Chains A and B, each alone.
Chain A
Amino acid sequence: MFVWPTGHVGMMHPVGGAKAKTIFEDFLTYARASRASVSYKDAKLLLSVGKNQAETRKSFFEELALLYVPYRSNQVLLTPLGQQLFDLLDGKNLSNLTPAIARQSTALIVWAMCRSQINRPQSRGVPAPSEADWRSCDVRPYAAAWMAVGDLGGTLSLDEFLGPLRRLHDASGYSNVIQSIRQARKSGTQLATAAELSGGSLMNYRIYWRSHLSCAEQVLQWDEKLGQFRAHSANWPVVEAALKFQAGCTGNALRAIQGLRWSSPDDYFMNVAGAACPPFLASGSPTVTIFNGQNLADLRGFAVVAQGGTYRITGGPALCQLALKMPCFHPTSSSRLLRIDAKQQHLDGSIELLLGLGRPIANLAVLLSALDSKND
C-alpha cells in the first residue's frame, strides 16, 4: 500500500533543540563545502556523523530541496532556497540567534517543506515508493498535512495522519480525506491500524514524521497525552501564509497541496521546489495590517524594490485583499505614502504590487507611532 515516504533522520532547525540544531549544522557544513567546491565525498567527512548518516542527511536536505548532488556527480549544489538559508545563518552562533533571525529561519524551512513533493528526483525517502507511485503521486505531503491541521481546527492526531492522510495519493482526494477524519472524530473511529500505531518496525517512521511535521516543534507542538499535534501559535501564521501563497488569490486549496511538473532534476531543484522563498515570507512577518476603513496598509513586513519613482512589492495572497489606489506605508519611502497603482498575479501564484508615490508624510514619528500602536 502506498504511503508517503520521508527521510529517516530528524528534523533540522537552528533553534529546534539539540538534535535539530546538529542536523541543521550539518546542512551548513554541506553548504560551506559547496561554496568551497569541496567534493561530496570529502564533504561527508566534515559532518559530525558517519558516512552512511551523512548520506541520509544529504538525502533529507534533497527532500527539502535545499541542496542536491546530481546523479553520478561528486558535487554538492545549493539550490536558490538553500543559498537563502545558508546566507541567513552562516557565521552566526546558533545558540544565540535573535528572535527575528529565528523567525526568518522558520519561514525559510516552512517554505521548503511546503514546496517538497513526493514526485521528485532522487532521494525519495522511506518506505521507498514504487516508480509508478512516486511518478503518479501529485501531493506535497507537508503542505497537505499542515492544511489538514488548519481544516481540522488546529489539531491532528497521529492516528489521523498515519491512517488516511499519509495515504493520500492524488491531491484531488484531499477533501474526502478530511471528510473521513471529521466523521471519525464524531464517531470515535480509529483510522490507523493497530500495527501502524504500535511499536515495532514502524516506530522510526512515526518518530521521523512527528519530528518533520512539527518542524522540530516550531510550527506544531506534540501533545503526548492527547497524542496529537497542535498549531504553534507564534509560528503558525507563517505556515498559513505559505499555504495561502500556494493557493493563489482565488484561494484554491488544491493548488496549495498539488505538486508541480518538472523537466529534469536541475529544474526541480533550481526552479520548482528549490526556488527562492519570496521576501515577504522570508521576512517571517508576512502579514498586512490594514487600518480601520481600509485606508492604510502597513507593508513593513515586505521587501520593496524601488526604481525611479515607482516601487514593487511581491508577496502572497495577503496582498490580494488590498484594493487599487489604497495608500500604504513602507519605510523605503519615508517622506511619502505609497499608493497601489497596479496589481498582478504571477504564474507562481505570487502577487506583485506596483506602487506610486502617494500623500506626503508630514510627521514620520507620529505615523510610526500610530502604526505601532495598531500592531500592538
Chain B
Amino acid sequence: MTDGAASLSELAKAGALPPRDFTNSPQRVAEVAQQALELPSLNAATAEAAKAGHFDPQVLEEAVAALCMGHLILAGPPGTGKTSLARALAGAFNADLIVETANPEWSVYDTIGTQTLKLGGAAAPRHGLVTSAVLSCATAMIDQFDSGDGRQAIWLLIDEMNRADIDRAFGPLFTALAGGGEAGMVLDYMDGRPTLMLPARFRIIATVNEYDTRFVNAMSGALRRRFSKVAILPPLNDADGKSSGAEWKTASGVALARTAQTLDKAVPKDAQDLLAAAALPIREVFGFIRASHDGKVPVGTAQLIDIAEYLLTYSAIAGASAGVDVWPTIDRALVARLLPGLETDSTRARLSQGYLQQFRGKFPSLTRFPDRIEAFLHGLD
C-alpha cells in the first residue's frame, strides 16, 4: 500500500477493516456480525419501555428478556400500543427502528431482494426491506464503533406481520434467523450469490394482531420457533371494575395535546371540564367492554385516547360544557371512534346477545352504540 492511500476506507478496501457501506458487499457484514448486542440492565430497559404506555411490568420484562436473546413478536389486539412499545424497546436497547407495515402482496423479492433494470437495460440488484435493514444495521454499528456514540444497531419492525403471506415472504430468512450468527441468507439476486450474515446486534420485532382475523395469515411453526412471543393486552381494570385510572390519566393527557394541535390553540377550559366530568363514565364503559379476559372485547389504550380526543374536540367546537349531560356525547364518541374497530368477525364471535343486554342494562343512557353493535351482529349494518 502506498503512502497516502491508507485512510480507513483504503484499509477497508484492502480487507483490513470492514467497510462502512455494505451495499455492494453484503458478504462483508460477516466482519462485524459477531459483535455482541450491548445489553441494558433489565430495570433500566423496562423503565424506558414503560414510558410508551401502560403495560404490565412482567410483560415488559418478558419482552426485554426476549430481545436480549433474539427476535420478538408482540401479539395483541389493536390499540394496545404494540408499535409504540416496539419503538420504546428499541430505544431501551439504544437501537433505531425501521418500520415496515406488512401487506399480503409481499414476496421474497420485496423482503430479501431482486434484480432490477437500470437505464440502458443492464440488470442491477435491488435489496429488499429485510436485507436493507440488515445492511443499515451493519453501517450503524460501524458508525458507533468509529464515533463511540450513536445507536448501537438498527432493528426492523414489521408491523402487522401476519398480514403478509409469511412463509412466502420470509422463507429465506429462516436459515439466517436460526443460525445464531453462524448461518446466513444467500442473496440469489446478486452476482456470486453472496451470503449475508445477520449481525448479532440485529433484531426483528414483529407485531401481530390476533384479534382482527380478516387479515391474519398463519405463521408457520418454523418461523414461530425463531421468535419469542409476548402478548400485549389492554391494561387490567381497576378493582372497582372501571378501566385503569392511571391509563386514563395518560390517555387524557395525550388527547389534550392532540386536540390542542388540531385546534391550533389551547383546549378551552369548558372542554377540559367536560372531559373531567366524562372520565368516570368512560372508564366504566371501557371497563365493561374490556372485561376481555373472559372472552369479551379487548380494546386498547389507543381507542381510549380516541374517545377522549373526540369529546374534547366536539366540546370545543360545539361549546358544550361540564354542566351538560355527558352521556349523549360519550355515545356519539363510541359510535364514531370505537365502533369501526369492533366491526370484525372476531367481535361477532366473542359477543353474545346476553352481553348486549347486560350493556344496555348497565348503561341505559347509551343507546346508539349498542344499537349499532346489535345491527352489526345481525348483519343489519
Q: Which residues of A contact B (CB under 8 A)?
A: 291-293, 295-296, 325, 327, 336-337, 339, 341, 356-364, 366-367, 369-370, 373-374
Contacts and interface: CB of A to CB of B under 8 A. Distances in A.
Interface of B: 1-8, 11, 14-18, 28, 31-32, 34-35, 142, 145-148
Nearest to B142: A359
Contacts of A337: 17, 145
Contacts of B14: 366, 370
A367 B7 contact: no
A162 to B, nearest CB: 44
Contacts of A366: 11, 14-16
Contacts of B146: 325, 327, 339, 358-359
Nearest to A324: B148
B11 A367 contact: yes
Main secondary structure on chain B at its contact with chain A?
loop
Contacts of B31: 360, 362
A183 B34 CA distance: 66
Contacts of A374: 1, 3, 6
A296 B14 CA distance: 15
Nearest to B18: A362
Contacts of A361: 16-17
Identify the interface centre among A341, A359, A360, A361: most chain B CB within 10 Å of its CB: A359
Given A366-B15, A370-B11, A358 B145 contact: yes
Contact of B4 (A292, A336, A362, A363): A292
Contacts of A367: 11, 16-17
A363 B148 contact: no
Contacts of A364: 16
Contacts of B17: 337, 359-362, 367
10 contacts: A292-B3, A292-B7, A295-B7, A296-B6, A356-B148, A362-B31, A363-B15, A367-B16, A369-B1, A370-B14
A296 B145 contact: no
A325 B15 contact: no
Contacts of B16: 361-364, 366-367, 370
A145 B40 CA distance: 57
Contacts of A363: 15-16
Nearest to A365: B16
A339 B6 contact: no
Contacts of B5: 292
B145 A359 contact: yes
A341 B148 contact: yes
Nearest to A309: B38
B37 to A, nearest CB: 14
A360 B35 contact: yes
Contacts of B147: 325, 339
A370 B7 contact: no
A328 to B, nearest CB: 12
The 10 closest A-B pairs by CB, nearest first: A367-B16, A366-B16, A362-B31, A359-B145, A293-B7, A292-B4, A295-B7, A295-B8, A291-B6, A370-B1
A360 B145 contact: yes
Given A359-B145, A360-B32, A327 B18 contact: no
A366 B1 CA distance: 10
A337 B146 CA distance: 9
A361 B15 CA distance: 9
A370 B148 contact: no
Contacts of A292: 3-7
Nearest to B33: A360
A337 B34 CA distance: 15
Contacts of B32: 360
A338 to B, nearest CB: 10
Given A337-B17, A360-B34, 4 more contacts: A325-B147, A363-B15, A364-B16, A370-B14
Contact of B11 (A296, A325, A336, A357): A296
B28 to A, nearest CB: 8
Nearest to B28: A362
Contacts of B2: 373
Q: Which of B5, B8, B11, B34 has the most CB of A within 10 A?
A: B11
Nearest to A368: B16
B281 to A, nearest CB: 56
A143 B15 CA distance: 45
Nearest to A357: B145
A295 B145 CA distance: 14
Residue among A325, A362, A370 having the largest count of chain B Cβ atoms under 10 Å? A362
A370 B6 contact: yes
A293 B8 CA distance: 9
A359 B4 contact: no
A296 B15 contact: no
Contacts of B1: 369-370, 373-374
A339 B148 contact: yes
A336 B147 CA distance: 14
B145 A339 contact: yes
Contacts of B6: 291-292, 296, 370, 373-374
B151 to A, nearest CB: 16
A202 to B, nearest CB: 51
A368 to B, nearest CB: 9
Nearest to A292: B4
Name the residue among A291, A327, A364, A374 with the largest chain B CB count within 10 angstroms.
Answer: A291
Contacts of B145: 336-337, 339, 357-360
A327 B7 CA distance: 11
A252 to B, nearest CB: 31
A334 to B, nearest CB: 12
Query: Interface centre among B17, B31, B32, by most A CB within 10 Å?
Result: B17
A373 B6 CA distance: 10
Contacts of A336: 145
A292 B2 CA distance: 11
B5 to A, nearest CB: 7
A295 B146 CA distance: 10
